[in-house]
Amino acid sequence: GAVVSQHPSWVICKSGTSVKIECRSLDFQATTMFWYRQFPKQSLMLMATSNEGSKATYEQGVEKDKFLINHASLTLSTLTVTSAHPEDSSFYICSASPADYLRGSGANVLTFGAGSRLTVL
Amino acid sequence: DAKTTQPNSMESNEEEPVHLPCNHSTISGTDYIHWYRQLPSQGPEYVIHGLTSNVNNRMASLAIAEDRKSSTLILHRATLRDAAVYYCILRDVGDYKLSFGAGTTVTVRA
């Protein structure tokens, strides 16, 4: 089945530094990947849609200059949290689908990575 | 987005079946019913999905009401590993934004 890998699984950084999280589709190509954020005891919220070879689409309220997304290849998307602050501490999760998730059938499913827990001190 | 309603929590004993209800009274004719689950400190995991007919796979069964306004996810024999938050989500063609509600937290007692 489809596998999505995230790295690192957890990271601790100092306030003001930048952190990069990688999301890879291991056995399929993904023109689109999705980045979610989950705060403790809350549900997942979509942050942005990562598009291979073009700019990411950010959800309302998500600062694109703070959360930089690069989707340079069909198997890799990266999320960089720039100038991280304690309020950015969260669980970041990426997902992808082998199918055309943006325009395909409602039956298409997403495969999620295991998540990356960011703690900003 | 069509919305779903799930109980906040359910408890089960190990080896017993678990029936997780989901109400979706405003479902459209082209909405698929998807179930994902999230184990502690993990990303969500696809469980099952269906449109009109009941569905079975190695993980669970999905029973869909005839009017499609509700569905039930059935875990036939709960194990400790099934303790997770289960999300019932409706998805139509072109819906890229999975709307994760609060889900149902399933606790399995040994």
User: Nearest CA to CA, how far is A35 from chain B (Å)?
Assistant: 10
Q: Name the token pair of B9.
A: 């929590």
Chain centroid offset of residue B47 CA: 7
B39–chain A Cβ distance below 8 A for any pair = no
Per-residue confidence (pLDDT) for residue A47, from 0 to 100: 96
Question: Tokens 């990356």, residue?
Answer: A116
In tens, the pLDDT along A50-99 reads 988 889 999 999 999 999 999 989 999 999 999 999 999 999 999 998 87
Minimal Cβ distance to A113: which of B43, B46, B101: B43
Per-residue confidence (pLDDT) for residue B1, from 0 to 100: 52
Cis peptide upstream of residue A8 (ω within 30 degrees of 0)? yes
Per-residue confidence (pLDDT) for residue A105, from 0 to 100: 81
DSSP string, A88-100: G-EEEEEEE-SS-
A20 to each of A10, A83, B71, how far by Cα in Å? 11, 11, 40
Per-residue confidence (pLDDT) for residue A115, from 0 to 100: 98
d(CA A36, CA A53): 20
Per-residue confidence (pLDDT) for residue A53, from 0 to 100: 85
Kindly determine whether residue B43 and residue A105, on different chains, have CB atoms separated by under 8 Å.
no
Q: What are the chain A neighbours of B36 within 8 Å (beta carbons)?
A: 112
pLDDT by residue for chain B (110 residues), tens only, comes to 558 999 999 999 999 999 999 999 999 999 999 999 999 999 999 999 999 999 999 999 999 999 999 999 999 999 999 999 999 999 988 777 888 999 999 999 99
A46–chain B Cβ distance below 8 A for any pair = yes
Which residue spans within A8-115 are E strands per DSSP?
10-13, 19-25, 32-38, 45-51, 57-58, 67-73, 76-81, 90-96, 111-112
In tens, the pLDDT along B53-77 reads 999 999 999 999 999 999 999 999 9
User: Nearest CA to CA, how far is B20 from chain A (Å)?
Assistant: 18
Per-residue confidence (pLDDT) for residue B54, from 0 to 100: 95
In tens, the pLDDT along A11-29 reads 999 999 999 999 999 999 9
Kindly determine whether residue B34 and residue A109, on different chains, have CB atoms separated by under 8 Å.
yes
d(CA B100, CA B97): 9
d(CA A69, CA A63): 11
Per-residue confidence (pLDDT) for residue B98, from 0 to 100: 83
Kindly determine whether residue A107 and residue B101, on different chains, have CB atoms separated by under 8 Å.
no
d(CA B109, CA A89): 32
